[in-house]
Structure 1
Amino acid sequence: MTDALRTALGALTTRGRAFVSSGLTAVVCSFLLGLDDLVRVGALLVVLPVLCAVVTTRGRHKLGLARVVEPQQVTVGQVAHVDLHLSNQGRAPTGLLLVEEQVPYALGVRPRFVIDRMGPNWHRSVRYAVRSELRGRYTLGPMTVRINDPFGLVAFVRSFQSSATLVVTPEVVPLPAIPLAGTYSGTGEHRPRSFAGGSAEDVTTREYRHGDDLRRVHWRSSAHAGELMVRREEQPWESRATLFVDNRRHLHRGSGSGSSFETAVTITASIASHLLQRGFEVSLVSSAGPLLSHGRESRPDRTALLEALAVLQESPRIHLSAESLSAMTQGGLVLAVLGDLHDADLDLLARVRQPSEPPLAVVLDVEGWDGAAGPATPAPPTTTPTTAASRATAGLARGARLLAGRGWRTVTAHAGDPVPRLWQELGLAGRRGAAWGPAADPARRPQRSAS
């Protein structure tokens, strides 16, 4: 038996095999009963499926596929649409096409479509939607096409090799503006920046030249100089921020989208997006080392940062790497999103010191995400009047208190805490100067007595 015939017989459907079996049975019975007409019926039942199989499998079906994903990057819970454009590039028409797209389980069930007969140079388009509650990078495709003959006797499957990628990023929560002074360092590209602690004297100007945009005219300098002065396109400062997310598995609790690690990723994505909007050059660091860093030639944008966080997974590492500590001591603003903290981690993080501003940290109270411990319940109301500072101090978990005593500004995140409120509390900790520095140890901070 030749390979072509073997392939043709292997493409027979259940109906086609039933035709062949019935035909052979009819032929045998015709010899036993001496019925010549039954031989003709049996021969027809055998020849028809085999002929359809040979013609269908050896037919020159040239199908083209173009896949368009819109948008290619979505946040968790957002819907993306995929358009499949099929074309018949051969000279022969196709039969009924059964199309099935291979998609990961996290994106839902596999979409299936039935496409009618396509003549030469005909085009067909189908669309389906995907949605995921889990961040990550997903591959869409390849697509398989099942081609049937008009009688339903033969069916064979062909696959396209092309595929597309969909990136599902963590949720980004808009954050309010908080004071972030003293975060400008380095020389870099000297892009224009809005100075958090600067004034009009920090602006570098030059004489007006023909063709300069009038929106760049600095009127105060023009009044002093007696001629038009414009702002230079370069500034002698550069705002930098290093954002560290601790992804060590043993420091987090919970599983799936409700784990403390996923909450840490959401907080990190929100802070990174907020800093980029404020003009910072953001470097992203994990427990294993830098994920994305800025340089003179390549600077990560919001899309690149969110994509790096989309594929970030928990790490089996036990200790922080030297690369992580080195990345957090390169100057500029340092922020960290931490899980459970051990004494060895506290000693290492105490080495992160900046001359301009103490590092900031959001420390997760991971016990609130422990399934055995149950969901975190709010504290009962108290009748003792407290200030915002004393409430924040009382809410600091052990790791946050110890880290604050080592020169960090800290805030504790509990399960269910809104990210904007945590960001505001972190800003309040900096303004009152109570959550950083050795003198800010909560054990030694004087408390206001209740009246």
Structure 2
Amino acid sequence: MPSTAAARGLRLTRRGTGLLVAAALCLAAGLGLGFPLLRLIAGAAVAVVVVAVLSCLRRVSVDVHRELVPDRVERGDAAVATLTLTNRSRRRTGGFTAIDPPTEEARLAVQPLAPGASAERAYRLPTGRRGLLTVGPLTVRRTDLLGLVAADARGGGTSTLLVHPRRHRVGVSPGAHPRHHHEGIIAPRPMAGSTDLRSVREYVIGDELRHVHWRATAKTGRMMVREYVDPAQPRFTVLLDDRADALDEDGFEAAVEIAASLTHASASAGTQTRLLTVTGLDLHPHGGLTGSRVLQDALCAVEQGSGELDRELLVSRCDSGTSLVLLGGGFDTALVGALRRRAREVTLFDFGPAGPAPALPGVTVIKERDAVVAAAAWNRAVAA
């Protein structure tokens, strides 16, 4: 929403401060040496500063509207902020400079605006780092003609650009592809609306009356209902080690990029996708592009933090029969073994220091420091 920027105070610029210091020296020299010309120069300099202050006392009032296009972007891709500045006062405004953090590119010169007139300026946003980029608030800066005095005003509020991790083209694990709904074991808690008839049983409170099997009811003398269930569908789970001591900064960023790539590919394919972190994040949105956006937003904000590795909790969160991917550098053999017993298949990405890949029976290990190379290794493993 638009907000108004108005003058809040005056300050001397370096040029103005230097002029006053020079005026004081001239005055001291004029008094000490008895030179009237130096005293005249000092007085003229002070008068110029006073005029500059008076010229900047006029109130500046503009409405500020900021739009980010797009509001989500992959690291390194282009994003643009567009500022619309509107003069809502009844008088013409003087020229000013609009400064919109956090980038130095957003020092935009705006010409004087007539009443009701608007000026639109656009600039690129820095997207070189993953994370939440706060844009604003806008500073409207007015200066006198000589640049001696500046008046700043704040407005426009703040906007947030989500800089997602860079994603790489990866394939979906074969174990994560949904199977035909007539295959597989029955889920312990089948979803409502299932369509696979598995049995006819006696009615219990809560069953839908439209599922009553009247022929079986007539034969047995008890109300019988059809039981519809769907088998457990294969799932895809990514576990990211976000402990501060598990990976260095470069290794962690590579792990986040692989997490973003795999979760996006899996969720976009309609697979039930879950994102876990060691410090407690647990997301399992619906599939599709909407679910992928939820996961990418979470990975945009994830940071390394303090926390203990709770093996029992992590194992309990791992769905039985899931296709599991571990991303980190500090998973011990006991934890990987416990997860392997629950998961359908396990792949370990080791982004730790250079060295030989750990030998883990029944686990595919990818030992790489670079996300591009790691994604290529994953694609080869999937295609094999």
C-alpha displacement of 1:247? 2.0
Contact kept in structure 1, 2:105 and 2:123, CA below 8 Å: no
1:125 Cα deviation (Å)?
A: 1.2
Task: Write the deviation string for residues 223-274 of structure 1: whole angstroms up to 9, x where unpaired.
Answer: xxxxxxxxxxx9935553322112223332x44xxx2222211111111011
2:348 pairs with 1:362: yes
Q: Secondary structure of the equivalent of 1:173?
A: coil
* Structure 1 unpaired stretches of 5+: 1-6, 193-201, 205-233, 374-395, 429-451
Matched, 1:282 2:242: no
Which residue in 2 is equivalent to 1:242?
Answer: 237
Does the residue aligned with 2:174 lie in a helix, a strand or coil? coil
How many angstroms does 1:340 deviate by?
Answer: 3.0
Counterpart check, 1:131 vs 2:126: yes
Corresponding position of 2:368: 414
| TM-score normalised by length of structure 2 | 0.71
Q: Which amino acid aligns with 1:168?
A: V
Aligned-pair CA distance for 1:287: 0.4
SS at match of 1:412: strand
How far 1:135 moved relative to its partner? 1.0
Instruction: Report the secondary structure of 1:304's partner residue.
Output: helix
Q: Structure 1 or 2: larger strand share?
A: 2
Shift of 1:74: 1.0
The 5-angstrom pairing of residues 44-443 of structure 1 reads 49-50=49-50, 53-54=53-54, 56-57=56-57, 59-103=58-102, 109-150=104-145, 152=147, 154-160=149-155, 162-180=157-175, 185=187, 187-188=190-191, 236=230, 238=233, 240-252=235-247, 254-255=248-249, 259-294=250-285, 301-320=291-310, 322-329=312-319, 331-341=320-330, 345-352=332-339, 358-364=344-350, 366-368=352-354, 397-398=357-358, 401-402=359-360, 404=361, 408-416=362-370, 417-426=373-382, 428=384
Q: Provide the rounded CA distance (Å) in 2 between the counterparts of 1:78 and 1:235.
A: 45
Relative to the length of structure 1, the TM-score reads: 0.61
* Residues in 2 aligned to 1:286 and 1:318: alpha-carbon distance in whole angstroms: 11
1:96 shift after superposition: 2.2
* In 2: Cα distance, 1:34 partner to 1:397 partner: 85
One-letter code aligned to 1:364: D
Give a deviation string over 1:206-234, Cα, whole Å, max 9, x none: xxxxxxxxxxxxxxxxxxxxxxxxxxxx9
* Structure-1 separation of matches of 2:42 and 2:257: 69
CA contact under 8 A between 2:14 and 2:148: conserved in structure 1? yes
Separation of aligned partners in 1, 2:308 and 2:351: 19
Structure 2 Cα separation of the partners of residues 167 and 316 of structure 1: 24
Letter in 1 for 2:88: Q
- Once residues 165 and 181 of structure 1 are traced to their aligned partners in structure 2, the CA distance between those partners, rounded to angstroms, is 34
Percent identity, aligned pairs only, is 21
Structure-2 change in CA distance of 1:45 and 1:290 (3 Å): closer
Hey, what's the Cα distance between the residues in 2 that align with 1:34 and 1:314? 68
Q: Name the stretch that deviates more: 357-366 or 282-291.
A: 357-366
Instruction: Describe the shift of the 1:144–1:358 C-alpha distance in structure 2 as closer, same or farther (beyond 3 A).
Output: same
Deviations 1:95-118 (A, max 9, x none): 220221211xxxx54521211111
Deviation at 1:308, TM superposition (A): 0.8
Q: Secondary structure at the match of 2:56?
A: helix
CA distance 1:15–1:178, change in 2 (3 Å):
closer
Count how many residue pairs are aligned between Structure 1 and Structure 2: 330
- Alpha-carbon shift at residue 53 of structure 1 (Å): 2.7
- Partners of 2:381 and 2:194 in 1: how far apart? 30
Matching residue's letter, 1:424: R
